[in-house]
């Protein structure tokens, strides 16, 4: 039976959400990643319809007005990110559970909307020094953007208590295994 469930991953940027999600997606569970829409520029090899649907600010605002988003946030100034209703329907139509990588406000919004049908996981970073180190190593932001992300992390960390589970991502392998145990129970 298609129960239309979802698993939400939220955490400050650089905490390791994408890394843990990519680990889970390779494990053969009936889950699929929700491709968000964004107004940020593609970085590196990112392609429209793979990592994100990339839209101009104008296109994004048209979609807001047309009611096409399940949720959206202005995560950074003029940088909008959102989940399209069509994306959820596409995944649920296959009988799969949706996996979201959304900011903390978006995660809380989705949990409120979907209640027990949603498993909300917060990825906890070991320290701000380590967050800075990981973002510098990833090397995908300008120094200015990097500071914005670290500044926002301090704010976002206050809301971890609103999630169903908090996973400390210190040793990656442990964090992946712990997350896998939780999601396999949720999918049963
Ligand atoms: P997010 O999706 O939350 O922004 P990423 O998954 O892109 O974060 O991780 C940020 C960076 O930190 C990446 O370069 C990733 O390889 C690295 N990383 C993730 N988890 C760990 C970990 N446990 N230890 C060391 N580096 C990590
Ligand atoms: P990035 O630019 O690093 O890919 O993402 C920046 C932030 O936007 C991350 O915290 C990510 O989880 C969040 N994000 C990505 N897609 C969505 C979405 O659809 N909705 C919300 N609310 N946040 C999103």
Of 8, 19, 24, 128, the one to substitute when testing ligand 1's pocket (max ligand atoms within 8 A of C-beta) is 19
- The reported pLDDT for the residue numbered 74 is 95
What does the pLDDT average to over 134-146? 91
pLDDT over 70 at 1, yes or no: no
Residue nearest to atom 14 of ligand 2 (CA): 102
HSE-CB at 187 with a 13 A cutoff on CA atoms is 18
**CA dist list (Å): 133 to 92, 142, 185:** 37, 14, 33
Which ligand has an atom closest to residue 107 CA?
2
Q: Above pLDDT 70, what percent of the chain?
A: 99
Residue 52 pLDDT > 60, yes or no?
Answer: yes
- What pLDDT, in 10s, does the model give residues 64-111? 999 999 999 999 888 999 999 999 999 999 999 999 999 999 999 999
For 55, residues 6+ apart whose C-beta sits below 8 A from its C-beta are 37, 38, 39, 63
Q: Which helix (H) or strand (E) holds 153?
A: helix 143-156
Size of the chain, expressed as the number of residues it contains: 188
Q: Is the pLDDT of residue 3 over 80?
A: no
Q: How many CA atoms lie within 13 A of 71 on its CB side?
A: 21
Q: Is the pLDDT of residue 33 over 80?
A: yes
pTM: 0.95
**Which protein residue has the closest C-alpha to ligand 2 atom 6?**
13
Select the more confidently predicted residue: 142 or 53. Answer: 53
d(CA 30, CA 26): 11
The dihedral over CA atoms of 141, 142, 148, 151, expressed in degrees to the nearest 10, equals 80
State the average pLDDT for the chain: 95
What pLDDT, on a 0 to 100 scale, did the predictor assign at position 77? Answer: 87
Whether pLDDT at 61 is above 70? yes
Residue 12: its pLDDT value, please?
A: 92
Q: Is the dihedral of CA 43, 49, 50, 53 positive or negative?
A: positive
Residue listed under structure tokens 């009936």: 30
């Amino acid at each position: 039976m298609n129960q239309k469930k979802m698993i939400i991953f939220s955490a400050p940027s650089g905490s390791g959400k994408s890394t843990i999600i990519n680990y889970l997606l390779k494990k053969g569970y009936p889950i699929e990643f929700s491709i968000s829409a964004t107004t940020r520029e593609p970085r590196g090899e990112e392609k429209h319809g793979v990592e994100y649907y990339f839209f101009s600010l104008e296109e994004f605002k048209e979609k807001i007005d047309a009611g096409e988003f399940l949720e959206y946030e202005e995560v950074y100034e003029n940088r909008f990110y959102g989940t399209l209703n069509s994306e959820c329907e596409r995944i649920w139509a296959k009988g799969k559970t949706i996996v979201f990588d959304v900011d903390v406000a978006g995660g809380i919004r989705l949990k409120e909307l979907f209640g027990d049908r949603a498993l909300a996981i917060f990825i906890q970073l070991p320290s701000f020094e380590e967050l800075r180190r990981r973002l510098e190593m990833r090397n995908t932001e300008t120094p200015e953007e990097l500071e914005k992300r670290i500044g926002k992390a301090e704010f976002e960390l206050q809301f971890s208590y609103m999630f169903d589970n908090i996973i400390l991502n210190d040793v990656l392998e442990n964090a992946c295994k712990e997350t896998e145990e939780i999601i396999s129970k949720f999918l049963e």
